[in-house]
Amino acid sequence: MGRLSSTIILAAWTLVVAAPAVAKVKVPPAQDAAMNVLMEELDAVNTVNAGNTQEIADLKKRIADMDALLKKASDDTLAMVAANLDASHKALEAAEARLTSLESRQVYNGRTLPWLVPMLEIRLRPMYDKNRTDSNSGRGDSDLYYLQRIRLGLTLTPWKGVQGVLVLQDSREWGEEKSTTANQHSLDLYQGYLLFDDIQGSGAWVQAGRFTMKYGAGRQVALKDFNNVGQSFDGVRVGWRRAHVMAADGFVTIYRNGFAPVFQPQGQDHYAVFSGLYLSTDALSWLDAELYGFYQDNGFVAQKERIGTIGARLLARPAKGLTLEGEAAVQVGRVTVRDENAVLKEATHLATAYFLQAKYTAPVKTDPWIGLFFYSASGDANPWDGKDVAFRPLFPAGKGNMGNMELFRWQGVWDIGPTVGLFPASNVRLSFDYHVYSLTSNGGSLAGFDTQASRASDPYAASLMNRVFNVPSGGSRFLGQEMDVELNYKPVDVLAIGLGYSFFKPGAATQRGQVLSVSERTETVNGADVTTPYWKREYRMGSDLAHRVWIEATLSL
């Protein structure tokens, strides 16, 4: 406001001075004093304006200096980035040159030179089982044993797309040899095959020899790696695959099961045939779909098992962190069973099995998950009526498939329970599963409580013993409940450590169960000895807790 007044006064004074003089007027002393004051204010305004002008000039200079500094800094940064990019480019060129050099050494006259890749696995596992076969502390079936497995292998690649794989295995239990100088369990061939992969760029492949197989979640065919020997097959596989379109895998194998000879006329040992076709696709990013068909045929002698299994598996990811899984299978065929007198008879076979699971993994650092699973497979309440409706598992995984204690198979049982866990660290996995088991039929016979395994005192192979866990009809179907806790730790890439504990509490159906097997009695009829089979009760089940504890260390190179 002061500056505005001064400006108005100055303008007025200018007009007065510039106006033509009409007459000479004498200025009074008071007006002369006012004029002096006005001139002083004008000088003050000019001084302030001069200061503002200098300040603006200083600011402009500072801005110019800052622009210069910023430009210099930008130029230096760009120069440094350019230098780093140039160094990276040179390093990449050197790596490409090295790779080209190595590839040129690998190929000579169109032939890839031999390329060997060795492998070594050593696994040690102390394990303690108590009451696992009978839930009865009075029978003294507590076992502490130490398992050891060594696998040594080589992979040879003589040409691109051609591989030869050889893996030797030694599996043993400490102290099981007859003496310190015995070598009853010597080295055996775990895998040995030739693989022709992506033939002529077509996506087709062929594999022949002894090899492992795993399909889907391993409920039908799996590596069975927790077993100290594992699982491998002798035969031929052919397949085709195209990424994000489809994969097809067909195979024919032979295996020994104790009573079915394929080459018996030539004097060979007893084998059975197992073949199948597995189709899978991941064309949709949120869905994996699988369709399969398997066929078993060991019907070359009295005990037939000609079974076809058709099934499908879906794994959907409808939302982030959520997975939904479902699998279903149906079996048809002709099999040989034993009636109530343990006499062999042929029966039709029709059975089903299902699996469902919903699982959610939270998107946080420890990746915690929670889920609910459900297994179900048909059972046979009356195994003596000439109709076999109990689902017969093929070659599934043991541990982790219906419990870590491996008490039950996917047959005549439904299993429901939660699964929870997390990764406390990137190399540590902690899981907790709970299982509630019940019969799917009103009693019947199951391949449970390790009845399918051979015993040292058995007079025949396990398949000829026909040993079963039998539950009389009537009463509760509740078999019991199992808890599994497992901790896996990988301190370094080549070492894995596992620790597990499980317990099983038998239910009412288990407590009234019994283990039966086929035996023979000889009687004299009309002066002649007649041998007839019969069902022999080996023992009744108990009501005590069963336990399993194990710890293992695996070194893989």
Q: 379: which 2 tokens?
A: 């059972």
What span, in angstroms and rounded, lies between the C-alpha atoms of 510 and 476? Answer: 9
Q: Enumerate residues 6+ apart whose C-beta is below 8 A from 273.
A: 252, 253, 254, 262, 295, 296, 297, 298
- Going from the C-alpha of 450 to that of each of 227, 387, 405, 515, the distances in angstroms are 13, 24, 10, 10
Could you give phi then psi for residue 397, rounded to 5 degrees? -70, 155
| Rounded distance between C-alpha atoms, residue 522 and residue 528, angstroms | 10
At residue 241 the predicted structure's pLDDT band, cuts being 50, 70 and 90, is very high
Q: Which two tokens stand for residue 87?
A: 């160094």
Does the pLDDT of residue 107 top 50, yes or no? yes
Output the CA torsion sign for 187, 188, 191, 194: positive
DSSP codes joined into one string, 362-419: -SSTT--EEEEEEEEE---S-TTSSEE-S----B--STTSS-TT----SSSEEEEEEE
Closest to 190 measured CA to CA, from 231, 225, 226, 243: 231
**What SS3 state is found at 269?**
coil
Residue 371: name the closest of 383, 382, 362, 381 by CA: 362
What's the maximum distance between 2 C-alpha atoms anywhere in the chain?
177
Helix (H, G, I), strand (E, B) or coil at 362: coil
Strand partners, 517: 536
- Which tokens belong to 369? 């998950």
pLDDT of residue 265: 44
Residue 431 CB: number of other CB atoms within 10 A? 18
Cα separation, 331 vs 323, in Å, equals 27
Q: Which helix (H) or strand (E) holds 121?
A: strand 116-130
Q: What is the pLDDT of residue 25?
A: 46
Kindly state the tokens that stand for 293.
């068909």
Cα–Cα separations (whole angstroms), residue 466 to 412, 451, 458, 469 = 16, 9, 11, 10
pLDDT digits (tens, 9 = 90+) for 169-203: 999 999 888 888 887 777 899 999 999 999 999 99
- Is the pLDDT higher at 434 or at 534? 434
Pseudo-torsion of CA 192, 198, 204, 210, nearest 10°?
A: 0
pLDDT at residue 17 in the model: 44
pLDDT tens string 133-177: 999 988 877 889 999 999 999 999 988 889 999 999 999 999 888
pLDDT at 422 over 80: yes
pLDDT tens across 261-293, in order? 444 444 445 678 999 999 999 999 999 999 999
Contact 329, 218 (CB under 8 A): no
Of the pLDDT bands very low, low, confident and very high (cuts 50, 70, 90), residue 555 is very high
Q: What pLDDT digit, counting tens, does each position of 475-502 carry?
A: 899 999 999 999 999 999 999 999 999 9
